[in-house]
Chain A
């Protein structure tokens, strides 16, 4: 079945550590996205990529980094510079056409301990 796989589902990080969240899709989508979800704030865009080897900052990119070396993969690194990283992270993909929906992974819940 086609879809998006995020791993791990739960992740614990010590302060000062970098962690990488995995996102893989087999839908042959060009565009991929990372969102952060906090209670009452909806989804906020961290980074997005419309094509391999290219990505753009979203609304809250500070403290995060990404790469897009393969069409299928869009990993997100939460760096130690991110002041408040505890959140639910969602990866999504879509075609580049604006009238098509995004497909979401099941999310990764990151907790700083």
Chain B
């Protein structure tokens, strides 16, 4: 079975400061990893994903994440926070099974507050 742990349910950063949101996963098979963002009362939107290949993945809005297999981590970063980055962020892991279906597990989310 796979699982996702997001460290810190709330993170506060100053505008212009580095954003670091932590995600660790466990999976018995090679995982596919995703970060989603959710604004209040809206659905989730994909920020970026890791499937195969390059371990440093760039996404929308200046975010990036690095897949580190040895650390089972997929932390999300952004060099300089903007007020519009205030939202909730979810890490997710997806694995495939025989019969052609996937199972996705989401973390519990991290709310990012950006302080002017």
Write the residues of chain A forming the contact surface with B, with a CB cutoff of 8 angstroms: 4, 6, 31, 33, 35, 40-43, 50, 88, 90, 92, 94, 96-99, 101-102, 104-107, 109
Contact = CB atoms under 8 A, between A and B. Distances in A.
Contacts of A88: 41
A101 B90 contact: no
A4 B42 CA distance: 12
A40 B43 contact: no
Given A31-B101, A99-B94, 7 more contacts: A35-B106, A41-B108, A92-B43, A94-B102, A99-B32, A101-B46, A105-B43
Sort A-B residue pairs by CB-CB distance and give the 4 closest, nearest first.
A98-B96, A104-B43, A98-B102, A42-B108
Interface in B12-34: 32, 34
B108 A97 contact: no
A6 B43 CA distance: 10
**Chain B residues touching A, majority SS:** strand
Contact of A106 (B9, B42, B108): B42
Given A90-B44, A106-B42, A42 B107 contact: yes
A97 B102 contact: yes
Nearest to B33: A99
Q: Which of A97, A99, A102 has most B Cβ within 10 Å?
A: A99
A5 B103 CA distance: 22
Category for how many chain B residues contact A? 20 to 34
8 contacts: A40-B109, A41-B108, A42-B106, A88-B41, A94-B104, A99-B52, A101-B46, A107-B42
B49 interface: yes
Contact of A104 (B44, B51, B101, B102): B44
Contact of B100 (A94, A96, A99, A106): A96
B51 A99 contact: yes
A91 to B, nearest CB: 8
Contacts of A105: 43
B90 A43 contact: yes
B95 interface: yes
B34 A101 contact: yes
